[in-house]
Amino acid sequence: MKRVDKHEREQELLKSLIEGAIMGLAFFVMFGSMLYRKEISAILNVVLDPLASLAGNFLITVLILAVLTAIYTSVIQKYTTDWELMTKSKEFQRQLKELQKEYIEAKRENNRHKLKRIEKKRAEVMSEQARFSGELMRQQFKPMAYIIIVTIPIFFWMWEYAPSEVVTFPLIGAKNLSHTFIFRIPYWLLWYMICSFLLATVIRKLLGIRGAM
């Protein structure tokens, strides 16, 4: 029994060290990409420039990248998220919402005994929820750390190499890729966001991924 417990502790320690290393790498990539955006984009261009040439249209290139990012972000989220913990968090939120409704009703009725009981129950739920808050935050950040490592370099490549040319977008017509939409969002980025959101929604459903929150 002791050997099993020791083995489990060693596995948990190794898992924590690996996760910590990946999160550290994610921060390094995130801040390093900001400092050396041009250099990292140039390295990535060795791979992505042939893709852009083969696609023949930067919108198609962005669509392909959106497909790839949607797939790996969905797969990463599916296999790195503790869904039991997320379900438990939702259950706490549901309980607090129901208690709030009961509290308002009891206050309207001026039922002091009921108010006292609800306040006690709410304090218990909030206390239990607080015990999970640190782990919940870690679970929410963990998929993001994996995703950052690949996504940010691709994003900066698109930023550096998006051509300043007029292309025809679906529904909105001919626009210059480098010109900006509302909130100063370039049209190529708007196209990426739309493709990524729609594709990720479809892929998440295919993989049976529930909402994280």
> pLDDT by residue (tens digit) across 166-188?
888 877 888 888 888 877 888 88
Q: Which residues of 123-137 are buried (b: 16+ CB within 10 A; e: fewer)?
A: eebeeebeeeeeebe
Antiparallel, parallel or unpaired: β 166-169 and 173-176: antiparallel
The stretch 149-157 carries a mean pLDDT of 83
Give the pLDDT score at 17: 63
Count of all residues that appear for the chain in the document = 213
The pLDDT value recorded for residue 2 is 47
| Region of poorest pLDDT, from 76-80, 132-136, 145-149, 153-157 | 132-136
Instruction: Please answer whether residues 98 and 160 qualify as being in contact, where contact means their C-beta atoms are separated by less than 8 angstroms.
Output: no
Which pLDDT tens digit goes with each residue over 99-145? 888 888 888 888 888 888 888 888 887 777 777 776 667 666 777 77
Contacts of 124 (CB under 8 A, 6+ apart): none
pLDDT at 153 (0 to 100): 84
pLDDT of 27 strictly over 70: no
User: Which residue is it, tokens 């309207």?
Assistant: 108
Short-list 160, 189, 158, 153, CA closest to 33: 153
- Which ranges in 56-111 belong to alpha helices (H)? 58-80, 83-109
Which residue type occupies 141?
F
| Other CB atoms within 10 A of residue 175 CB | 18
